[in-house]
Chain A
Amino acid sequence: MKIKEIFPGVFRIGDDLFTKNLVPGEKVYGERLVKINGVEYRFWDPFRSKPASAIKKGLKTFPLEEDSNILYLGAATGTTISHFSDIAKNGVIYAVEISEVPYRKLMDLSKKRFNIVPILADARKEKEYSDFIFGKVNVVYCDISQPDEVEIFIRNCEKYLKDDGYGMVAVKSRSIDVVKDPMEIYREAEKKIKAVGYEHLETVKLDPFEKDHAIIVCKKTK
């Protein structure tokens, strides 16, 4: 079968997306494992992970690299995180999660994947976890479904993102305003990001994988 590396660490086999398994033999959330030429790949499900659906929908800039340091807000149980830790295998992923039940799973995950730092904190209070983040990060990824998500994202970028780093927000339009048209909400989010002087690179809508969601990619330019 043909394997094509479409982004650093992200492989396309047939129609599906895969990442190289950092911990061979271990499944994280019951996903399919495929072994090709002695290398084990993990299926990256676009229905369960928003970056994967964005790539499927034709995302052009995927800023993760092998040695990227990533600040991940809204880590949940670590489905997406596990793929990020496959991709950025020599970097560090600071995974911030506020809720205790998913955090326990995240903690277990970090015991197998050594590049994950699980932080139990509120992304809204970005100063509270500064104890754990030494040095600025290359990428801020934010997926928190809050009405003020974009503001939270920008505050975190201001504090933790490198000057030429990338930011990605998964915007859930329904948790910002159920009544408004999703497109309008994406435009507003883009405007807010541009207002702080970041370069807006692209907005990718995620349907049919996720309804009324979009990923916005931007670059910090100072």
Chain B
Amino acid sequence: MKAYVITTMFGVFAFNENGKLIDKIYFEKNAEIAAKKLVESKKDLINEEKKIIETLKNSGFDVVFVNEKVGYPVDKSKEEELKAKIRQLLISEKRFSNPAELARYSAEVASNLAKTKLKEVKKDKIIAHIVQAIDEVEKIINTLVERIREIYALYFPEMEKKVKDHEKFIKMISSEPDRDKIKGFEKEAEETVGMEFSDYDLEIVKEFSTNIRNLMSFKKRLEKYLEDLMEETAPNLKEIAGIKLGAKLIKAAGGLEKLAKLPSSTIQLLGAEKALFRFLRGRGKPPKHGYIFVHPYIQSAPKRLRGKIARALASKIMVAARIDFFSKEYKADEIKKDLEKRIKEIYESDKKKKGR
């Protein structure tokens, strides 16, 4: 005779072939514990299940599970029927006074189950935010530098014009804004057409530029942080695509897992959605590359080869992302060799064509 065993958030229940309850063990009425038991029972036999199986076997039943269970026959056809019975039982045995209370308890168990999922450490989620943060900080720095340059040009236009590099400029005026004291610009200071600044004005200039300088060093720190994160979560992807590009792809796909499950053609066009849909609607040419456009292999290639190279690159990025997500071995060197070989082939076949 068969006995059907079903594990629920309320406990483990066993029914005979006619749908009559033969055995049951309730879990403690605690949402946290119930959620844990549910998770465990998905992986392995839990104690309650073991106990029920033992008594069933002793009374000569063949155990069939209603929910998935490794090592036991599974028959799902009775699931709905038995669950309805359990629901009645819970109310009639006064485990729950009414259906509303039962729903309340299900909600708590579901929330607790989700909590374990939410609490999981997922570094790729941080990566997605950090790569955006870097872009944003950079944008802010540029805006502020433009502003301080305009201000400083009122006072010392000659120097502002000469020092083109933002970082150098900010470094100079944050350490010494007074034009008479800046080394190497004595002549310009003497002949300047700039207006006079008071000490108060200079103080603000100094404070302003110091803050920008801090932002600049913060950006570098974020970049280092991103590098470390990528090294930890996706070393192969980092090697093949580069730090920022790899991170952008993770962001665009919505996580490393999703990226690993994307086909290479999609990876090739991530970030070119606008152009892709324009093409699909019948207007415009199909895009050749999305975010991967910034990769040095594509940047250095002549325009006519970029499509081919983008395809080769995207396929290797796909391989790298999959290794990172699934096996976590380091194989970037081999992938890179393959990729370089393929790119060489592309160039060579192009040369032959041209020679003809």
Chain A residues at the B interface, C-beta cutoff of 8 Å = 90, 92, 100, 103-104, 107, 110, 114-120, 130-136, 178-179
Interchain CB contact under 8 A, B99 and A92: yes
Interchain CB contact under 8 A, A115 and B103: yes
CB distance from A131 to the nearest CB of B (A): 6
Given A100-B118, A118-B110, A118-B114: A90 and B84 interface contact (C-beta under 8 Å): no
Interchain CB contact under 8 A, A135 and B84: yes
Residue B102 CB within 8 A of the other chain: yes
Interchain CB contact under 8 A, A110 and B84: no
CB-nearest residue of chain A relative to B109? Answer: A132
Given A117-B110, A132-B9: A92 and B103 interface contact (C-beta under 8 Å): yes
Interchain CB contact under 8 A, B83 and A135: yes
Chain B residues at the A interface, C-beta cutoff of 8 Å = 8-9, 38, 67, 79-80, 83-84, 86-87, 99-100, 102-104, 106-107, 109-111, 113-114, 117-118, 277, 280-282
Interchain CB contact under 8 A, B107 and A116: yes
Interchain CB contact under 8 A, A131 and B114: no
Interchain CB contact under 8 A, A90 and B9: no
Interchain CB contact under 8 A, A134 and B87: yes
Q: Which chain A residues border B104 with CB–CB below 8 Å?
A: 114
- Identify the interface centre among B87, B118, B280: most chain A CB within 10 Å of its CB: B118
Q: Which chain A residues border B80 with CB–CB below 8 Å?
A: 136
The 5 closest A-B pairs by CB, nearest first: A120-B114, A92-B103, A117-B107, A134-B87, A117-B106
How many Å lie between the Cα of A132 and that of B31 in the bound state? Answer: 12
Jot down 7 A-B pairs with beta carbons below 8 A, ordered by A.
Answer: A90-B100, A107-B114, A110-B111, A115-B100, A130-B79, A131-B38, A178-B277
Q: Which chain B residues border A107 with CB–CB below 8 Å?
A: 111, 114
CB-nearest residue of chain A relative to B118? Answer: A100
Interchain CB contact under 8 A, A118 and B107: yes
How many Å lie between the Cα of A103 and that of B107 in the bound state? Answer: 13
CB distance from B114 to the nearest CB of A (A): 4
Interchain CB contact under 8 A, A104 and B83: no
CB distance from A90 to the nearest CB of B (A): 7
Interchain CB contact under 8 A, B281 and A179: yes
CB distance from B334 to the nearest CB of A (A): 34
Interchain CB contact under 8 A, B280 and A120: no
How many Å lie between the Cα of A3 and that of B104 in the bound state? Answer: 32
Contact partner of B280 (CB less than 8 A), chosen from A116, A117, A119, A178, is: A178
Contact partner of A110 (CB less than 8 A), chosen from B79, B107, B281, is: B107
How many Å lie between the Cα of A107 and that of B282 in the bound state? Answer: 43
How many Å lie between the Cα of A133 and that of B84 in the bound state? Answer: 10
CB distance from B104 to the nearest CB of A (A): 5
Given A114-B104, A135-B87: A120 and B117 interface contact (C-beta under 8 Å): yes
CB distance from B92 to the nearest CB of A (A): 14
CB distance from A124 to the nearest CB of B (A): 13
Contact partner of A134 (CB less than 8 A), chosen from B38, B83, B282, is: B83
CB distance from A159 to the nearest CB of B (A): 8
Given A92-B103, A104-B118: A132 and B280 interface contact (C-beta under 8 Å): no
- Identify the interface centre among B8, B67, B106, B281: most chain A CB within 10 Å of its CB: B106
How many Å lie between the Cα of A201 and that of B104 in the bound state? Answer: 33
Q: Which chain A residues border B277 with CB–CB below 8 Å?
A: 178
CB-nearest residue of chain B relative to A99? Answer: B254
- Identify the interface centre among B67, B87, B114: most chain A CB within 10 Å of its CB: B114
CB-nearest residue of chain A relative to B80? Answer: A136
Contact partner of A131 (CB less than 8 A), chosen from B8, B103, B111, is: B8
How many Å lie between the Cα of A116 and that of B104 in the bound state? Answer: 8
Q: Which chain A residues border B67 with CB–CB below 8 Å?
A: 130
Q: Which chain A residues border B102 with CB–CB below 8 Å?
A: 134
Q: Besides the contacts A130-B83, A179-B282, what 14 more A-B pairs have beta carbons closer than 8 Å?
A: A90-B100, A100-B117, A103-B114, A110-B107, A110-B111, A114-B100, A114-B104, A120-B113, A130-B79, A134-B86, A134-B106, A136-B80, A178-B280, A178-B281
Q: Which chain A residues border B280 with CB–CB below 8 Å?
A: 178-179
CB distance from B284 to the nearest CB of A (A): 14
Q: Which chain A residues border B282 with CB–CB below 8 Å?
A: 179
- Identify the interface centre among A119, A131, A135: most chain B CB within 10 Å of its CB: A131
Q: Which chain B residues border A100 with CB–CB below 8 Å?
A: 117-118
Interchain CB contact under 8 A, A114 and B281: no
Contact partner of B106 (CB less than 8 A), chosen from A90, A132, A136, A179, is: A132
Q: Which chain B residues border A110 with CB–CB below 8 Å?
A: 107, 111
- Identify the interface centre among A104, A134, A135: most chain B CB within 10 Å of its CB: A134
How many Å lie between the Cα of A116 and that of B8 in the bound state? Answer: 19
Given A92-B103, A135-B84, A178-B277: A118 and B79 interface contact (C-beta under 8 Å): no
How many Å lie between the Cα of A92 and that of B96 in the bound state? Answer: 15
Interchain CB contact under 8 A, A114 and B107: yes
How many Å lie between the Cα of A104 and that of B111 in the bound state? Answer: 9
CB-nearest residue of chain B relative to A96? Answer: B110
Q: Which chain B residues border A135 with CB–CB below 8 Å?
A: 83-84, 87
